[in-house]
Structure formats: structure tokens, C-alpha cells
Chains A and B, each alone.
Chain A
């Protein structure tokens, strides 16, 4: 049995309430942090824990926090990324719905550690009911003196504001999120300077994903070494794996990093829908390269998935069985990034438009064989040439689909219809 850190209260009745949270171990870590530990000690535990960012890039959290300038006279901000818009990803929603106080406790401890007295949660506009739950939880935390002035008599002050987005995937990119928090359109900023130095309102700012922050209480309570020991080297702790698509039991499953993908698919998620053969798996949200069925014998930690030629990203696992048209799948992915490109830089703005035109032409039966290489070449032209990683997020998957499922693209162009149609009984 895997030990659950993030999901252990998920199935309790009224798990979202302060009462249930406190009755089941909640806010104990906060007391320990404020009474027994200095910010430097907590930072040290987080570094030892090998906690890596759960938002996508997997950057070590403790290292990020230590990039904050020392002895700055400016305020320091924490912005929690609850934009969760990468297709296939829904794990942060589970935390906010079922255990919002876990997130709030993580935020308070993090702010104490980084010496911030103002935190924001940036939640996507579509998570309306989750925003209402969180707002209630924040109010309850204020009433119980976990937020506000002189928290639990420690002398530490913290305000927490929930900020509601309005339907723009790009605002999940950290600098676009800062722009949005400043009341602007979500145009990503050029880096450097990094937000830890110049972030929200030109002040030092730490941005972390919801799930990243939700791990902090456990690390404080049980120590960085314990947390690090749950996963393979450099991959501390557990993850919430969000499984969707063609499986019998789609859902959110917590396991230590390094958990075998096959076990996740065939045990947790109950196997492939209708017992059809597996065709492909996307291991980290729609922006990562796809794996073919014969490439899934891997462990789910950042480094193993990368070694297999893809990325663990947001740990959103999208499963496709034999009867999935990969040409159409590619179109869905391109369409998304085309719609969500902020339009600020031309390789991404124009490139996504070209990709969509080409793939739609193929789907209409008007494609030519050269279009396959064109999809690849246009993607290659976007890759690495943009202000933010959204460009790469469309280029990498497209290159992988075109390469790994080339036969399906060729079939579509030659026969003006999907290879899948020949299979439907």
C-alpha cells in the first residue's frame, strides 16, 4: 500500500471543512513550523526533500526559494498557480475541492519560510465552484487565526487573496500569470529577470503550483529525508497522477514518484476501455511527446520519463486505444495551442496557424504527402524560438505524432480517410 500524503483525507465526509481537517492532523505542521523552526531550517528541509515543482517543469522548490534576494527591502510575494489548464490535467482541482486547507496550510508555511506576508492563489475562471469552496476555507482560516495578523501568536502576519482568472490557458505560464494579477492581458514576460528577483509589481515573487505547495506541511511534519526517501533519487515524494481517456476507471491516483506506468494503467485505472489493445499514452499533459504502446514500460518520475523521450510534466496521463485516429488527435492538440497562443511572438502566432491549416487540409482529404514533413518542419521552426514555452508545447507533441504514427498520416492522405475507419466493425 502506498502511503498517501495529498489524498489521505480525500474520501472523508466533509473533507473540505476546517473541522474535518483539524480532526485529521490539519494545522499541526503549521504549529511546529512557527514554534519550533526558523525559516532557514524549513528551507533546508524542503531542499533535502527533493520536492520538485508539480506544475510542469519539475524545478526543485527549495532551490527556487533560495533565489530570492537576501535582505531586500521590497515585499516578497507568493503566487500559487491554480490555473490548471493543460489538457488532461485535473489533480489540483482534487486538492482544492477535497482538501483546501491542506493548500492553505502549505501556503502559510511557505510564506513564513520565504518571509512573505502577502500571498495570492490564481485560480482559473472555470473553477467557479472550487473558487467558492476555497474562499470559504480562506475565511474560516482567518477566523481561526491561521491567517491575518500575528498568526497563532507567533508575530508572523499573512494575507491571502484568491484571484479568479477568466479563461486564458497562457495565464498558467508564470509571468503571464503575474501580468494577469496586475490586471493586464496575459502576455508572458521575457526572462531573465526571473520572478524571484523581479516579479509581481516589480517585487521578488515565488510562483509554485498548488500540488507543490500542498506537499510542504508533510515535509515540515516528517522531515525532508523521509519525503525524499519515498521516491527515487532527485524525485522526492508522491504525485497525483490524473488518468483520462480510454481507461476503465479514469481518475486521480496518488503514488510515489517512480511508480510504474503499466501498473497505473492496468491496476489503478482498471485497464483499457472495452479491453481493446493500447495504442498510445501521453504521460504528462497534452504538451509532451506521445509514447507508443511498446514504449510504456517505464517508471513515472521526472528523469525516467525524460529518458524515454517524453516528459512527466503535470503528470496528466492521457490514454488512447487502438481505435484512436492519430491524425485527428494531432488536430485537437494543434487547435488548442492555436486558440491559446497569446499572439505576442510570430513563430508561435503564425506557426500554430500554419499547423492548423495543414492538419485541417489533411483531414478534409486535400492533403499531399509533403504535408507530413511540412508539419514537422513548421514545428521545428517554432521550437526554441519563442518568448515562452507555449511554442515548444505544440511543437514537441506534433513532431512526435508525425514521427511515431507517420503511417496513419500517409494512409489518410492516400485514401482521404482515417486508417481507423477500416477497423470499425
Chain B
């Protein structure tokens, strides 16, 4: 698998920005994920070559960090916080509602490829618990009605 033109120019930008080749690994993998929605295994050799780092480095990073998807996920990736403060504010009922509404369990993707639900750790928004993020955008003080409004407004 080869790098796209767009990805190459992103990686060039990253290489210029970081004084050390190794430091460009995380930013580069973020760029790959933005391009494909996940990190295709077959792209790793090309990324390694382009950054001039060993291929194991890329593998080590794509597998260690939670936010790097090793397989494709839904168009909308829902991160629902399940940590203490959100638990105290009843995230469990929000999870039940989401699972029922989308007809999948946490960790799964809807058959049409639109939604994935992932349970995540504290999102640093505990004052608005319960909290979720969809593709990086945060939503707090969740209620079933609010979930309806948010999901129904996605295209």
C-alpha cells in the first residue's frame, strides 16, 4: 500500500515541524488515521520508510495507544466515559439507552457502518458527567433526549 499525495504532504509538514525523526511517529500516525479512519496494517511499511524509522516503531505505537484504531470503525465513533464521576452520574443508563437505540453493544459497530460505541476512561469533563465524545466533539450532561437530538442531527 502506498502513501496518498495528501498524506505525503501531511508527513512532509510533520517532518519539518519536529526536530527529531522519531518524534514524528505519533503525529504521522494521527495523520494516517485522519486519512483512512484507522491504521491499515499494509500502510505501515510505507510510513516507516517515509519517516526513515524502523517499521517496529510504527507497530509499537499503533498497538499501544487506545485512540489508534487497528481496524475500521464506524463513521461516527462514540466514546462514552465509564469512569468514577460519570458512573456516579449514571453513565450506565446512558449506555443502555445508546445500545438500545443503535441496537449494538459497547465495542461493536452498526451493520451500516455508521456508529461504533467504545467505553472509555475519564475524558476530563467530569463536571458535565455523564459525558461522551463523537469524533472528537464532546457532549456533556447527557440524557436520553439529548442523545436523540445529537444523533438525529448527524448526517
Contact = CB atoms under 8 A, between A and B. Distances in A.
A87 B85 contact: yes
Q: How big is chain B's contact interface, by range?
A: 35 or more
A93 B121 CA distance: 16
A293 interface: no
A329 interface: yes
A181 B126 CA distance: 27
A411 interface: no
A164 B66 CA distance: 13
Interface of B: 17-20, 22-27, 29-30, 53, 57, 60-61, 63-68, 79, 82-85, 87-89, 120-129, 133, 136-138
Contacts of A244: 85, 88, 126-127, 129
Contacts of B22: 182-184
The winner among B27, B88, B121, B124 for most chain A CB atoms within 10 A is B124
A89 interface: yes
Interface in A62-114: 84-90, 92-93
Contacts of B68: 166-167
Given A165-B26, A183-B22, A127 B64 contact: no
A167 to B, nearest CB: 3
Contacts, number: 145
B138 A129 contact: yes
B61 A184 contact: yes
Contact of B84 (A84, A185, A333): A333
B124 A126 contact: yes
A198 to B, nearest CB: 16
Contacts of A167: 65-68, 120
Given A90-B127, A124-B124, A336-B121, A183 B61 contact: yes
Interface stretch (A141-149, A246-254, A382-390, A415-423): A246-254
Interface string A229-259: 0000000000000111110001110000000
B124 A182 contact: no
A129 B66 CA distance: 18
B126 A88 contact: yes
Contacts of B129: 244-245, 250
Contacts of A125: 30, 65, 67
A21 to B, nearest CB: 23
A185 B26 CA distance: 10
- 3 A-B pairs with the lowest CB-CB distances in the bound complex, closest first: A183-B25, A167-B66, A166-B65
A127 B79 CA distance: 13
A182 B18 CA distance: 10
A338 to B, nearest CB: 11
Contacts of B121: 85, 87, 169, 336, 339-340
A245 B85 contact: yes
B125 A245 contact: no
B83 A185 contact: no
Contacts of B25: 183-184
Given A243-B127, A250-B129, A201 B20 contact: yes
A352 interface: no
Contacts of B17: 161
Interface string A125-167: 1111100000000000000000000000000000001011111
8 contacts: A85-B121, A87-B121, A93-B124, A129-B137, A168-B65, A182-B23, A282-B84, A286-B84
Given A166-B66, A166-B68, 18 more contacts: A87-B121, A87-B126, A88-B84, A163-B23, A164-B30, A166-B67, A167-B65, A168-B64, A180-B26, A181-B23, A184-B61, A243-B127, A244-B129, A245-B89, A250-B85, A316-B126, A318-B85, A320-B88
A90 B136 contact: no
A118 interface: yes
Contact of B122 (A88, A118, A250): A88
